[in-house]
Each structure stands twice: as C-alpha cells, then as structure tokens.
Structure 1
Amino acid sequence: MSTKRCQNNSEDALLNHQALSIYEAGRLAEKACLAAGANPATAHALSRATVSAELYGQQGVGFPHLLDYLASFQAGRINCRAEPIFNSPLPALIYSDADGGIAQLGFDQAMPTLVTKTSELGVTLFTQSNSFTSGELGYYVRRLALEGLVAFAVSNSPAAVAAAPGGGKVFGTNPLAFAAPLADPEAPLVIDQAISATAFVNLRGAAERGEPIPEGWAIDETGQATTDSVAALRGALLAFGGAKGANIALMIECLAAGLSGAAWSLDMADFQNGAERVDAGLTIIAIHPAALAADFSIRLSCQLDRLAARGAYVPGRRQVRDAASAEEQVVIDTTVLDAIRGYL
C-alpha cells in the first residue's frame, strides 16, 4: 500500500471519530443511561465501566457495547430500577441477586465488603445471579488488583458457541479474567479472554462492516465452517482449541451459573432482542497474596520481565487510568456517538 493511501486511510479514520474528554465521555454515558430509564446508581455504575473499558484499550466493550445496554433498558431486558440483594451464607461467601439489573451495579455495591473480607480471611468468593451480561470481565478483576488482591472471574452468557463444527450452540462466549498486583500498583497483570475463538462483538462488528472473518472463528447455520461474517451470525462461534476450549467453557458454566443459580447459557434469553431478562451468572474469587508472600508483587513483576525477555507475550501491565485527568481523551466512532446521543 502506498504512503499516500495510508495517509488517506488515517485521515478517513480521524474524520469518522470524535475525541471527548474523560469527563465529557462519562457524562454522556451517564446521561444516556438516565434518558433510557436507568436509575442514578445504575447509570453511574455503567458509565464508570464504559469509560474504564475505553481507557484500558477495550473499545469493543466500551461505547459500542453501551448501545446494547441502552436498547435493553428501553426494551425491558434490564431492570432499570434494580436494587441488588446480598447475603453471606458463610463468612468467606458473598451472594448477590442483581434484581435483573446490570452486573456492574451488584459488584460495585459488594466490592467494599469483598475487599474487607478478603483482607481478613485471605480468600473470598463473590457470586451473582439474575443480571444482564457482564460486559468487560477484566474490569472486575482489574479493580480488585488495584486493591492489592489477586482475582479470578468467570461469567456465562447466552448460547452462541458450538463445541465443534456440525454442532449446535451450547455455550456462551463464557469469558474468564485474571488479575494480579505488580510492583507498579497502577499497572497490574490482567488477562481477559473468551472461550470462543473470538468475542461476539468482534464477529458482529465484522458483519456490520461487511468484512470476512478468519477460518476457525465460526460456522454457518448448516454447521459448516465459514469465513462469511454475516453467515456466521446466523450460525455459531467456535470454541478455541476444539474440545479443550469446550471443556473450559463447561468449567466456567459450572462456576458462573452453577454456583450462583443463574440460568445456564442454553436457557438464557437473547440479550439483543425481546423483553425477557437474561439472568447471567458471575463468580469472582479474590485472594490476599501478601498474607502468604509479602513480596508477591515484586517477584511476579520480575518473573514477567524474564518471560518477556524470552519472547513471551505478557498481557496487561498497562496503566489503569480510571481516575484519569480531565485533560485525557477517548476517541469514539461518530456513528456510535450519534446513536448514543439519540437517546438524549
């Protein structure tokens, strides 16, 4: 590709995006949620999570995904007035019924107790049912890592993944996420991935742009492997690694839906259509590493440096900018911005 063509593509990309300050982006998200019917607590929690995803480089589950929430508020798939209910059947267990609301709200309200209990007990498990899909799963563990905790999270979602070509949808994309504090307390190790060969938002984005997808991502509605993104939307995603990925999906289903009492992925309502509540499950295990190894963060940082020096890919380790200065900006697709502003 010529230098001139590259410049033109870059200029076109800039023309199709708009930069907003962190404050402007947060206020826009919050106002759109309120306009769509969400109560203030829900609007604040979702706005914070949306901006955090953008700042951390997870744009696919940032403002584009906010549109799924806004549509679901209005359609009744999310309880706009949700008030999560909590109980603790054992000292190290926290259970949340999200009351049909967003997953982030229940977590936000439980997090102070989760951090305190983990500091006191060494290990705590938080599990939640009856929520909309979890959004960026790394958001939950990232926040706990900033508190000095090691965290592992899993969640399930409506069935969209076939265990193998020729099979039907049996699992959600069922993401898992892990985070651990490092020597730089503001740049934890964060791993966030789905069990599917790609995230659903990537498949949907390719279909909207009319782009093909790589082999091994999905099957069409007849069960045959396809690189046609539109056909894949009518079919199913594939689990990464074949049977091994499907086994991990099953383990996540046991932890996310089994422990919480949420719906199995096969029984979940569509998170994009209809008015039925999704009833997704979320389970987080938090560990206080310093109780076992006071130098845990330093040792892990050194080990990651050794791995990187030997060519290993080390995810995360970027600054978490949730409390970014007002001068910082996020860049958002103008089509997405126009759709969000349409709710105001």
Structure 2
Amino acid sequence: MPGDVTLSPAEAMDLARTALMRVGMAEAAATALARATLDAEMAGKRALGLQHLTDHLRGLIDGRIKGRAEPLITSPVPAIMKCDAMGGVAQHGFSLAHEELASKAKTFGLAAFTLHNSYTTGELGWYAARLAEKGLVALAATNGPALMAGAGGWQPVYCTNPLAFAAPLEAGRILLVDQASSAAAFVKIREAAARGETIPGNWALDQDGMPTTDPFAAMQGALLAFGGARGANIALMVEVLAAGLTGANWSLDAPDFQAGDTSPGAGLFVLALSPQLFTDDFATRLSAQVARLASDYSVHIPGIERVNRQREAESAGIVLPRQLFDSISSFRRN
C-alpha cells in the first residue's frame, strides 16, 4: 500500500535491536528479543512481530521490563533447567539456555526448561520451533495476566494460555502447532478496536458477563475459551505447567502487561524430547505421514509454510505500515 516501508531482514533486525537498546535494554537481551520478533514477523505472525515490539518498548520505558536484567539459570538435576528472568524478557533467558537444553535432551532422551519472572513470552511457537530445528520434539506452554474466563465463569482468571508443539520433518521443515486456549488472541481483539471493527459474538464477554461484538467492551470484560469447557480445561492445564511448575505468577495475580511499572511475572514451560532415542527414522516417517494426510485427505498441516514464508521475506523484504515504522523509529531517536 502507498506509504508502506519495505525493509530487508537485516534492516528490520537493526530497526528493532537499536530501538530496544536506545530505551535501555542490554545488547544481548535486545538481540534475542529482536531475533524472536523478526522470526514471528517473517513467519506471518505479525500481531506478535514488530507490532508487538511496541509493547516491549513502552514496557521498558515504563518499568514493566527490566532492560538490564541478566537471567539466572540453574540445573537442580541434569535433565531440568530453571531460569529466573529477573524481570526481563523470556526470549533472552531461553536463548542463553536452548543449546544446553537441546544437548541435555539428546543425552537423556528428554529435558525440561522452566522460566518465571518475565514479561509476556511473545510468539510461543518460536520456542518450540527452535528445538524442532535441532531435531527435537518440543512442547511449550505459557501464561500471563488474566484475560479469559474459566469454564462456567465470566470473570478473567486465565491468560490466553497458549500451547505450542513442534516436531522435525525432512528438508529443514517442521510441524508446528501454536494456538491459544481462547477463541481469539487478545492482540486480534486489540487490532479490531484500533480499526473500529466489531468482533464475532463468541469471542468475548463484556463486564456484565454478556456476549459482545464490541472489542472495547471485550477488553474490559473477559475473553472466551475455544470450544467452551474443553478449551477452558486446556487453559487450566497450561496454567499448571506455566505457572504452577515454574513458580511464576498465577494469571490472576499477574500485573497488566500494558500498564503500570511491574512485570507480569509470566511463566514458560518447555519440554524437549529426542525422537532418535524413542524410535527409528522419526523425521522420515513423520514426513511421509503428513504428506499422506495433506495429499490424500486434504488435511492442513500447520507449520509447513513457516520456512517458505521466511524465505519469501528474505527475498522480497518485510513490508511495514508507515505508522508502525515511524513509531519504532521514534524510539530509536529518543
């Protein structure tokens, strides 16, 4: 569209990294967050890409993110790694740990990584994908501030509490499932509000517990789980993994990620498994199975296009709305 700005991946990386460092984030953390943000953007997850970077930039200025935080990583037993993000970002802690986590999984067959005391984790699929790229099967779960009602309730008690699952295929491709427990991601409702659009009536409740198509009312009320009680039960399972096992804030106790000067204290749980120690020719067999599902049964296989989208962005560039480009650039000049 007229006025849009096209950047190469290197230019977009520099835009994000420089902006983060100019508002107080340490270089290593800025590099990790910029990398994860750019990966989400290039994979087509734009709501969690450079658009979401502005939340991090404002969070740094307001104090919700500690820009100089250095994650504390411990390993109480060989197959478990624990990380205290110290009020910083989860992407930094995971980037420091993921090589060792992958090595532990390949040695012991499985390894777990837990993280607490962080800002919201961004694109959850990014964590699982990085392990699948190393030949591992991965499951990830995360929570954050309460936005979604539980089964039978109408007040927010869970975050959107997503789950991500990734597995390696042949030729550098991966299977990647990344979905929220809510009927719609919070960022989609916020986008609708910004555009002055309505939302489907099964996405959210207003403050009185009534279904609403008004995104502003939805943001003051509660999101709804997908599939009713089934989705809410998944959110509860995620809450146990991401907050219970990690020691992070329960979603009910997590401060707002958009306001105030306190970190949400979100949690992240990642389980990595080495398929080579469970069965032979895993990637080959899975590749054949997903090809059969797609070609013979018209099944959509999530994650398959991720690599293609990233390669397309590498060649064609990353297109940003002028307003978003100017917003991020303004932080670089501060």
1:207 corresponding residue in structure 2: 193
- How far apart, CA to CA, are the structure 1 residues paired with 2:37 and 2:167? 22
The alpha carbon displacement at 1:327 in A equals 4.6
1:243 to 2:229 alignment: yes
Query: Is the Cα–Cα contact under 8 Å of residues 154 and 205 in structure 2 kept in the other structure?
Result: no
Query: Is the Cα–Cα contact under 8 Å of residues 75 and 275 in structure 1 kept in the other structure?
Result: yes
- How far apart, CA to CA, are the structure 2 residues paired with 1:152 and 1:259? 14
1:110 corresponding residue in structure 2: 97
Question: Which of 243, 252, 267 in structure 2 is aligned with 1:266?
Answer: 252
The alpha carbon displacement at 1:287 in A equals 0.4
Query: Is the Cα–Cα contact under 8 Å of residues 148 and 158 in structure 2 kept in the other structure?
Result: yes
1:279 to 2:265 alignment: yes
1:10 corresponding residue in structure 2: none
Question: Which of 314, 323, 327 in structure 2 is aligned with 1:339?
Answer: 327
Provide structure 2 residue ranges, at least 5 long, that are not aligned to the other structure: none
The alpha carbon displacement at 1:294 in A equals 2.5
The alpha carbon displacement at 1:164 in A equals 5.0
Residue 117 of structure 2 aligns to a residue whose secondary structure is strand
TM-score by length of 2: 0.96
- How far apart, CA to CA, are the structure 1 residues paired with 2:306 and 2:323? 28
1:71 corresponding residue in structure 2: 58
Matches within 5 A, 1:42-57: 42-57=29-44
The alpha carbon displacement at 1:17 in A equals 2.4
The alpha carbon displacement at 1:92 in A equals 0.7
- How far apart, CA to CA, are the structure 2 residues paired with 1:222 and 1:96? 39
The alpha carbon displacement at 1:16 in A equals 4.6
- How far apart, CA to CA, are the structure 2 residues paired with 1:338 and 1:15? 15
Once the two structures are superposed, what CA deviation does each residue of 1:36-83 show, in whole Å capped at 9, x if it has no partner? Answer: 110101110111011100111111100100000000001000011010
- How far apart, CA to CA, are the structure 2 residues paired with 1:79 and 1:155? 20
Closer/same/farther in 2, CA of residues 252 and 325 from structure 1, 3 Å limit: closer
Once the two structures are superposed, what CA deviation does each residue of 1:93-124 show, in whole Å capped at 9, x if it has no partner? Answer: 00000111000000000011101111111100
1:193 to 2:179 alignment: yes
TM-score by length of 1: 0.93
2:121 corresponding residue in structure 1: 134
Count of paired positions: 330
Residue 227 of structure 2 aligns to a residue whose secondary structure is coil
1:221 to 2:234 alignment: no
Query: Is the Cα–Cα contact under 8 Å of residues 22 and 324 in structure 1 kept in the other structure?
Result: no
Specify the code of the residue in structure 2 equivalent to 1:167. Answer: W
Provide structure 1 residue ranges, at least 5 long, that are not aligned to the other structure: 1-13
1:90 to 2:77 alignment: yes
1:62 to 2:57 alignment: no
Specify the code of the residue in structure 2 equivalent to 1:183. Answer: E
> Root-mean-square deviation (CA), in Å?
1.5
- How far apart, CA to CA, are the structure 1 residues paired with 2:302 and 2:137? 15
1:11 corresponding residue in structure 2: none
Closer/same/farther in 2, CA of residues 154 and 325 from structure 1, 3 Å limit: closer
The alpha carbon displacement at 1:233 in A equals 1.3
Specify the code of the residue in structure 2 equivalent to 1:140. Answer: Y
- How far apart, CA to CA, are the structure 2 residues paired with 1:238 and 1:261? 26
- How far apart, CA to CA, are the structure 2 residues paired with 1:337 and 1:233? 26
Specify the code of the residue in structure 2 equivalent to 1:77. Answer: R
Question: Which of 301, 304, 329 in structure 1 is aligned with 2:317?
Answer: 329
1:38 corresponding residue in structure 2: 25
- How far apart, CA to CA, are the structure 2 residues paired with 1:301 and 1:329? 29
Answer with 265-274 or 322-331: which moved more: 322-331
- How far apart, CA to CA, are the structure 1 residues paired with 2:49 and 2:195? 18
Specify the code of the residue in structure 2 equivalent to 1:106. Answer: G
Residue 31 of structure 2 aligns to a residue whose secondary structure is helix
- Give the % identical residues: 48
Question: Which of 281, 305, 309 in structure 2 is aligned with 1:295?
Answer: 281
Query: Is the Cα–Cα contact under 8 Å of residues 42 and 313 in structure 2 kept in the other structure?
Result: no
- How far apart, CA to CA, are the structure 1 residues paired with 2:110 and 2:61? 39
The alpha carbon displacement at 1:325 in A equals 8.8
Specify the code of the residue in structure 1 equivalent to 2:323. Answer: T
2:219 corresponding residue in structure 1: 233
- How far apart, CA to CA, are the structure 2 residues paired with 1:85 and 1:60? 29
Closer/same/farther in 2, CA of residues 237 and 16 from structure 1, 3 Å limit: farther
Question: Which of 146, 153, 170 in structure 2 is aligned with 1:159?
Answer: 146
